[in-house]
Amino acid sequence: MLFVLLLPHGGFAQSAQPEQSARAVVAEQLVELGLQIHQTTLDCSHFVNSLFEAIGLTYDYQPSRVLYRGTDVFKRTYRPATGDLVVWPGHVGIVINPEAKTFLSALRTGVKVAAYDSKYWKRRGRPRFLRYRLSVTATSTWPNPGGSNGEIRSESGTE
């Protein structure tokens, strides 16, 4: 299966904060892909890892307990955004809508959307939110409607 990252025509070249724009595009792709899947044989950690890899954000597989303690690939954030991980010891998912406090994850009953502030998830303890570290290094160019080439710098990995 091939997944393609489509960049807006000339969009990032004019953005004051290209990393935030790139992050938003990638986060939306991650969520859209995850929402298309209804059943999986993968556990939650493998499911999240496979979604990240499918959109080109690779990291060595880590179980949720390791992610909860922290890794170099993800940084902890206290203000979750779409595409961030929501992690408890023993479970991990991907934030869909931080305002609605919803996330996507793989459960025994399938891939489901739930609220991380529901009674069930609150009983699991306080979740941690982790953000994939995007670094601004690799260059891609595309034509800009004004005649010059637009440029974005984006690469997965550590900051």
pLDDT in tens, 47-92: 999 999 999 999 999 999 999 999 999 999 999 999 999 999 999 9
Cα–Cα distance for residue pair 156/144, rounded to 1 Å: 24
Q: Are 143 and 83 in contact (CB under 8 A)?
A: no
For the chain, what is the domain count? 1
pLDDT of residue 98: 97
pTM of the model: 0.74
Judge whether 3 lies within some domain. no
**Which is nearest to 13 in space by CA: 143, 133, 137?**
143
Domain of 73, in residue numbers: 17-156
Q: What is the pLDDT of residue 89?
A: 95
pLDDT of residue 97: 97
Q: Is 48 part of any domain?
A: yes
In a domain, residue 101? The reply is yes
Identify the pLDDT of residue 134: 80
Please, which contacts does 71-79 make with residues 24 or more away whose CB atoms are closer than 8 Å? 71/130, 72/133, 72/158, 73/132, 73/133, 73/158, 74/130, 74/131, 74/132, 74/133, 75/130, 75/131, 75/133, 75/159, 76/128, 76/129, 76/130, 76/131, 77/129, 77/130, 77/131, 78/129, 79/129
Q: What is the CATH number of the domain that holds 26?
A: 3.90.1720.10
pLDDT of residue 22: 87
